[in-house]
Chain A
Amino acid sequence: MDLQEKIIEKGLLLIAFSSIFILALITFFIFEEGIPLILKVGPKLFLLGEKWIPSKGLFGIFPMIVSSFWVTFGSLLLGIPLGLACTIFLSELIPPSLGTLFRPAIQLLAAIPSVIYGFWGLVVLVPLIRNHLGGPGLSILAGSLVLSFMILPTIITISEDALKALPPSYKAGALALGATHWQTIWRVLIPAARSGIVASIILGMGRAIGETMAMIMILGNAVKMPTSFLDSARTLTTNIGIEMGYASGDHRQALFATGIILFFIIMALNTLAIFLSRRRAH
């Protein structure tokens, strides 16, 4: 019996390491394909080069990094205020009967595939932008808007968790001291839940940077450095997505190298978010 128990324990130990094992595999293979190219082209030229012309061997992903940043920044610009508003609404202002309807609705909206949002953006948003604001319509603006819809449920659910986790004495104390409801929310509760809200924003940012399919549909994928919100652009993810099927040799390795950069950025963001939310738990 003891031997069998020990075997099972060791077996489970092996299984438990599967997630780390898979993570290590992913890291290894992506790096194995990508690092040689970064070394070949030179890290500075790769990261800061402004021309991405694979047929000529030019692999500069700076426009992609800038575009990723712009699209994410734009989505946060819209997502943070709306997300915060929805969170406050859901946790404080909502009549309880509506609440039982809205909270599951938010969870369900989080589960909708991103291609659906991308499709809506393509069919509704892009013509709207083209007809009223100019440009090709396939633009960073469209991408930011659609992306903000995608990250809203993430921000809302995690921030709401953060607000719910506050000790009730905070709210009771503030109200007892004569603060209005709004003052309690704005000056006491939100600042107290600050780290959880920031963690939710960072997780939302991680999701925004990692979004691929919807962005391919509505960003236009031009390789140039974007100069305005109405310009078409290409993020790190869409660069991989749109050229992966066709790439070979150096070109393919360059896409893996793009993947490495993406990987780093998202790992950094996620580690930050984990660190912040763990700190909150203590």
Chain B
Amino acid sequence: MEHPLTKNIHPDRPPLNLPEYEQTGGYAAVRTAVKNMTPQEVQLRVKDSNLKGRGGAGFNTGMKWSFVPMGPDAPKTKYLIANADEMEPGTFKDRLLLEGNPHQLIEGMIVAAYAIQANISYIFLRWAYKKAAELIRKSIAEAYAKGYLGKNILGSGFCLDMYLHTGVGRYMCGEETALLNALEGKRATPRAKPPFPQISGLFGKPTIVNNVETFCCVPHIVNNGAEWFKSLSHSEDGGTKIYGVSGKVNRPGAWELPMGITMRELLEEYAGGMKNGFRLKGILPGGASTDFLTAQHLDIKMDFTSVAAAGSRLGTGTMIVMDDATCPVGFVHNLQHFFAQESCGWCTPCREGLPWVEKILLSLEKGQGREEDMQLLQMHTQLLGPGNTFCALAPGAMEPLQSALKYFRDDFEHHITEKGCPYNSIR
């Protein structure tokens, strides 16, 4: 089994510095791209590899790049941004890549910038990743010193500047257009699309925003080809994937595995199964804003298509395990508290609806739930669902709620009939 993204990541050793990274074949993809390939050839190879965006949306990366205006009539300034604002609750995969091998991200970004002919790039890093910030600053400086960044990269005439931007909180910054507003010094509220950022993004210029893990795949695709990348996978989506598991399992963690490994393999083989005394009750397969799956789904493949077919989303691929001693109502209340707090307030259904949902769930937990609350919750899953809000935050928040109402309905009803949380005695 190949582990291209993590083969040089060793938790007990500091990450590779630039010379060490070069010795393992690092920056060869920059050399190949800027010297031997046209930008369009790089775009095509990435498109053919069927690399799908690892931030959760799962859109073909090469295809996304192909919407950027190219050629002599294209704007002189174009931006490329790495979304390193990892804030989806239960998600810790980009941290592994950022702390483990920052040069891999930088290399992927240089190749991607060449493919769309961007001249300015940013790494938008969440404030909490302090160790990563230090490492990235050092690595960017090394890359400048060696001529991989700056003017006339490797004598090719291609120029690229790279900056690290550290955030000051707010989940919304992970939303592509809200991130652009944050970089422009504004409140991180989402923008209307169209225009899409590829045409009019940061400061009104063509802009590509990709997730950290997406960029980390790029050098390997350029070096080894689209077919090789596809062959790493157990499914139609190309490549490997950084999967993670958290909750009451024996070995919580993150691992790079072939795309399309089953949930069972992930949970039982890699995470070591449930902790003694706990049983599996539900799984959010890819972060807080994905629908619950249950034990009956363990044999589905963790790829974009298969998880969607089972009624959820692969999302970030880092699953959160809910055990049988954890109250599903309390669990979903915690999620809705997060979403209500992180709503940017830009559109009314999200700003007003999420706190309402949170309050209903809290009243259930306190034993003040009423029969009609079930209907109210159900109603919100539609009113805050896709198509009624400006961005995906509220629809994402409704995913765990609607599936909890489906799979754990008895638990919700017991809170109302028994006037309290039946799990309190266990916790």
Q: Do A and B associate with each other?
A: no
Interface residues of B (CB under 8 A from A): none
Which A residues contact B (CB, under 8 angstroms)? none
